[in-house]
Structure 1
Amino acid sequence: MDRDQFVTLFRAHLQDVSKYLSRRVDRNQVEDLASEIFEIAWRKKTDCPDGMELAWLYKIAGFVVSNHRRKAVNRIIHLPILDTDKSAPSAEDMALDGSGVAIAFAALSGSDKQLLSLLVFEELSIKEISVVLGTSENTTSQRLKRARERLAANLASLLSDI
Structure 2
Amino acid sequence: MRSLLLALLMLLCLPLQAQVTDRRPLQFQSELEERRFRALADELRCVMCQNQSLADSDAQIAVDLRREILQMIRDGRSDAEIRDFLVARYGEFVLYRPGISAATLLLWFGPLLVLAGGGWILWRVARSRPRDAAPPADDTGDW
Q: Which has the higher helix share?
A: 1
TM-score w.r.t. length of structure 2: 0.33
Q: Which has the higher contact order (CA 8 A, sep 6+)?
A: 1
* Rg comparison, structure with higher value: 2
**TM-score, scaled relative to structure 1:** 0.31
